[in-house]
Each structure stands twice: as structure tokens, then as C-alpha cells.
Structure 1
Amino acid sequence: MVAGPKVVHQSMPVLDVQYRCVAKGIEETVDISAAAAAVAVVTPPSSPSFRPASELDLRESDAISDVALDVNVLPFVPSIRSGSYSDIGPRRYMEDEHICIDDLSTHMGSLFKCPTPSAFYGVFDGHGGPDAAAYLRRHVMRFFFEDTDFPQSLQVDDVFLEDVENSVRKAYLLADHALADECTVNKSSGTTVLTTLVFGRLLLVANAGDCRAVLCRKGEAVDMSQDHRPIYAAERQRVVESGGFIDDGYLNGVLSVSRALGDWDLKLPRGSPSPLIAEPEFRQALLTEEDEFLIIGCDGIWDVMSSQHAVSIVRKGLRRHDDPQQCARELVMEALRLNTFDNLTVIVICFSNEQQDSSPSQQQPPVLRCCSLSAEALCNLRRWLDDDRSN
């Protein structure tokens, strides 16, 4: 997790000695010089309960209140890194595609202006063959950031957010129409699409289909997308009102999702109302220190495990090895163990370093605090120092 601001207390040294103590899980540094200076005004009590200095313990009630604290606490800034994993599963053909860009501004070049950090991710779950998903993966950057005149700003505000949503919505529709015009893509081929953008602390998820995004917030799963299936009330109503029907949970008896790009054999004639649409739904969140990671994956994962189950697997994995790619693989392996019947693709996006407080190579310096010592402790400490000098 992201470490808080560190406060270091300074004192006028009398003896250049420091004594490290650990009490109640907090590593503290006792300024021995200040303690020794204070001994001069302390009269040793005639108590038989003296203990050697090596047995000194620091109590929470002994701590001196912090002074001169820096009140300019920096806002949370996510540290973005990701890992992905795909597997064909029990299917004969692989129809999934995905994209991971952890640093969007660098990827796009110096002319692209956006809040930082910035990132872009997408999962494309094809059906009716791999054509639609593969085509979209090849051209997704053009659809999203070139053809739509993607908004550029260095600040995240309401205007920027609205412009980004409009641009992403336009990108989905442009990509859908491009699939209709592309002669290399079979008209019965389609794909569900879930994309994620991160700009500073803003997390924006757009979804058309049954891929899913799940945010881990303090260990709890928070769904950042709604599966678009014909059996859900809102989608069922829209499908029926647009002239479609649902048979045994399938749209027009053939498709298990109610939103997708492509599938032009169901949408023709072009321009007419269709029960199958490419319009994405949006969900957003303002990331805080409580938001640990985001999982996005195709329905092969969610068919056999809940959002909370997936979050628990990833959280445990990050605490064990701190590798999002390994976590993505572990999710896929768990789905296979649970007998999923589909292709599998997962991306795990971390917003902080889970191991920075426990990994020796990444450990942050301990917070230093000044502590007061009891009169008894000060006297014993002074005796110990005098004995040490005399030897």
C-alpha cells in the first residue's frame, strides 16, 4: 500500500547515539542524546523494581505528541502496473483478444496531452469466429484515440469526463460500423468489448456485452460493469421494445448477449432499429488508497466464479508474490479447475504496491518518532552509558 508522509523529529544532540526499539509493531528511534540530557534533572527513585536498560520498553502512552507536522498531505496517486493471461480453455478455437497499455501518454507520444498517470486496457470476447475480435484489437487505438478526436487536457474535471465518455461512445459505434464495412470480417462474427481508462485518480469503465470489471476496495469486490444478457430485466425490456425476442435466454434464439459489436447478420438492414446494440454503458470511480486493483475478464471467468471469489484470489496472490501477471494466470487456472467451458482472458491492474511494506527490496524507511522515557528508565540509561564510557 502507499506509505503515508514520514515525519522526522530532530533534536540538539548531546551524545551521538540512537537506540532502536520495536513496540506494538511500530519501529521507533529513541534519541538517546536527548534522553541523556534530561537525566540531569531526574533524581533516581529508591525503588527495588529497577530493570536493566536492555529491558526498557516503550509504551504507547509514553509517546510525545508530534510537533511541526506537515499538513500538506499529498492526494493519492495510483502507481499503475498490470499483468494479463489468456488460455483457449476447452474450446477448439481461441476467439479472445486483449490490450494492455500501462502508460498511455508515453505510448501516444508528446503531442497527446492527458492527466497522468494514464492507462488503457481492453478485453474483446469474440463469438461466431475470431474475425471481429482480432480486427478490433488491431485497430482499437485508431478507433479510440484518432478517429474520435479524443479530448486532451491536463486536468480531470466534469467537462473532461463528459468529453471522454462521448468520445469512447463514438469509438464503440465507429468500430461497430467498421466491422459492417470490412470485407475480411464474417458478418456473423461479433465481439463483446470492455475497456478501461485511467486518468490520474479517475477510473472509467465502458462495457458492451458480458465481460466484467471488478474493483477491489479494501478486500471487497465492487462491480464496475453490468453484464448485458437478455435475461436481465432492463435488457429484456429494451430487446422486446426494439422488435426482438428471447428464447431460452438467447437473443432472437441465437445470441447469449444483448450488446456486442459486429454480428451484422442480426443488425441488418443497416440503420434500422436492432435488439442487438453496440452502445456501451459507463461506470466511474475516483480512486483512493482503499482501491487496490481492478480485474477485467471475459465471461469464461465469471461463468464459474463470483466477483468476490476472484478478488480474494488476486489479493492473496499479490500478498504472496506481488506479481499481477501471475495473479491473472492463477485466476485462469481456477476457472479451468471449476470446469469453465469458454476461452479465458484476464487482466489484473494494480494501483499500488501490495508488498512495499513487507518486501526487503522495496521496504520504505520506517517512520521516526520521538519518545519520552520514564524517570526510572532514564536513570538506568544514564548508568549504562556511564559504565560503558568507563570501560
Structure 2
Amino acid sequence: MSRFTKCWHPGMNDEASSSSSSGAGVLCKDGLLWYRDIGRHAFGDFSMADVQANRVLEDQSQIESGPLGTYVGIYDGHGGPDAARYVCDYLFRNFQGGNVTEETIQTAFRRTEEGFTALVSEQWNTLPDLATTGTCCLVGVILQQTLFVASLGDSRLVLGTRDVNTGRITAVQLSTEHNANVVAIRQELAELHPDDPEIVVFRQDIWRVKGIIQVIFLYMCPLRNPSYNLQVN
């Protein structure tokens, strides 16, 4: 897939960009709201929006499109913007060639995880706080009339479908959250860490990883059935 727009990095500069790549839509800022107006990709229109909840916007998003397909990534950062920015910079690059399968998606996720882990190790002495950042990762790829979905973290991907007869839009959930409140996730963590009785702790009325956070970060849990094939009509 040839790219037509670079990663979207709202929050890195004070001034919103007034220019855009071909078809990408214009990046605008309105208070704490960052958004792109309607743009074009290989299969139709798109728009994006982020609301800045913290002093620094921790989240990243991107859309890459060309004649062969369209890639959309949403990265919900935690503890700082570093992990989300790294994923935005490298995950798409780690997809090899134009072929998309469950295996190539897993490989791209794994290479990105390994790359960020190596970066944390390299900068441990100067930037130890880098190790405390993480990100959820939600990816959709449309290729040859097939939609591939990959999810890691507690974000949720929802597909809106319009009934051609009634015009009614139906929401279809395409991913399952990786959250410590989910029984299966707690069981998986316990199996992965049999020597750590406090890998999940019930604190403040919810289950938390190490008693701290609910979400399973990008580099804390292996991939779980990340891709689904849906025919797009």
C-alpha cells in the first residue's frame, strides 16, 4: 500500500496545520479539540477527531491509503505520549508488502513491540519514565474488499452499517477489549505470570493489573486472535 498522508501528530505543535497531503483533509484545532475535516481515501471519505484530556495529548491516529487498500490506526496512549507516537511512526512501516494476513498483522505488532522495548532499554539511564508509558492499538485494513481488524488494549472498534432500504445505521462490535475486568483476561495474566500472585488485584471496586491500571498495554500482553475477515459490500 502506498501512503498518501503521514502520521497525524496533534499536540506536538501549538499551531494547527493549515495544509494537508492530497485528500487528507485539513488539521484544525478548536480549544482542546483536534480534528481533520472530511478527506478522501481509496474507498471513500473519512474524518478524525481527538479531545485533549491531559496537558499533553497522549493519543495518536493515522490513515494511510493507496490504490491497493486503506490502513487506519488509532492509538490510545497512557502515562505519556511516547508509546503512542512510536507506534504511529513504526507499526504501519512494519507491515511487509501489499499482502495482509493474520500472520503479517501479528508480525507487524510483534516487531513494533520489540522495537519500543529496545528503545526503552537503550534510554533507561537518561529517560527511565519512558518505561511507564504504553498505548492501546486499534487497526483496520481494507484490502481487496476484505476488512481486517487488529486490536490490543481496551479500545473498541465498531462498524456502522447502513440499511439501503431504510437508511437506518446499525453498530456492529468488531473487537473485544483487553481489560482486567474481563475474566478471561485475568485468567490469561495469571497463566502468564504464575509466580506473581498480585498480577491482578481488586482495588477501588475494579480489577487492575498490578493494582494500578485496568488496560493491558501494548507491551504487557501477547496478541490474542487479532484479525477478523469481514466482506465489505
User: With structure 2 as the length reference, what TM-score do the two structures score?
Assistant: 0.67
Q: CA deviation at 1:261?
A: 1.9
Larger proportion of strand: 2
Q: CA deviation at 1:151?
A: 5.2
Contact 1:225 1:282 in 2 (8 A): no
Work out the CA distance in 1 between the residues paired with 2:87 and 2:93.
10
CA deviations on 1:350-387 (whole Å, 9 max, x unpaired) are: xxxxxxxxxxxxxxxxxxxxxxxxxxxxxxxxxxxxxx
Q: Which has the higher contact order (CA 8 A, sep 6+)?
A: 1
Work out the CA distance in 1 between the residues paired with 2:222 and 2:80.
18
Residue in structure 2 matched with residue 37 of structure 1 by the alignment: none
Q: CA deviation at 1:104?
A: 3.0
Amino acid at match of 2:113: D
Contact 1:175 1:261 in 2 (8 A): no
CA deviations on 1:267-288 (whole Å, 9 max, x unpaired) are: xxxxxxxxx3141522231112
Alpha-carbon distance change, 82 to 278 in structure 1, aligned in 2, over 3 angstroms:
farther
Residue in structure 1 matched with residue 132 of structure 2 by the alignment: 188
SS at 2:132's partner residue?
Answer: coil
Q: CA deviation at 1:216?
A: 1.3
Q: CA deviation at 1:188?
A: 1.4
Matched, 1:82 2:46: yes
Amino acid at match of 2:182: Y
Work out the CA distance in 1 between the residues paired with 2:97 and 2:210.
35
Residue in structure 2 matched with residue 213 of structure 1 by the alignment: 157
Contact 2:57 2:81 in 1 (8 A): yes
Residue in structure 2 matched with residue 237 of structure 1 by the alignment: 187
SS at 2:181's partner residue?
Answer: coil
Amino acid at match of 1:131: D
Q: Which runs of 5+ in 2 are unaligned?
A: 1-41, 164-168, 194-198
Q: CA deviation at 1:86?
A: 1.3
Paired residues for 1:191-270 under 5 Å:
191-217=135-161, 218=163, 219-243=169-193, 244-248=199-203, 249-258=207-216, 260-262=217-219
Q: Which runs of 5+ in 1 are unaligned?
A: 1-77, 106-115, 153-162, 263-275, 289-391
Q: CA deviation at 1:225?
A: 0.7
Work out the CA distance in 2 between the residues paired with 1:256 and 1:82.
31
Contact 1:230 1:246 in 2 (8 A): no
Contact 1:151 1:164 in 2 (8 A): no
Amino acid at match of 2:63: C
Matched, 1:167 2:104: yes
Aligned pair count?
170
User: With structure 1 as the length reference, what TM-score do the two structures score?
Assistant: 0.41
SS at 2:101's partner residue?
Answer: helix
Q: CA deviation at 1:198?
A: 0.1
Instruction: Kindly name which structure, 1 or 2, has the bigger radius of gyration based on alpha carbons.
Output: 1
Residue in structure 2 matched with residue 104 of structure 1 by the alignment: 66
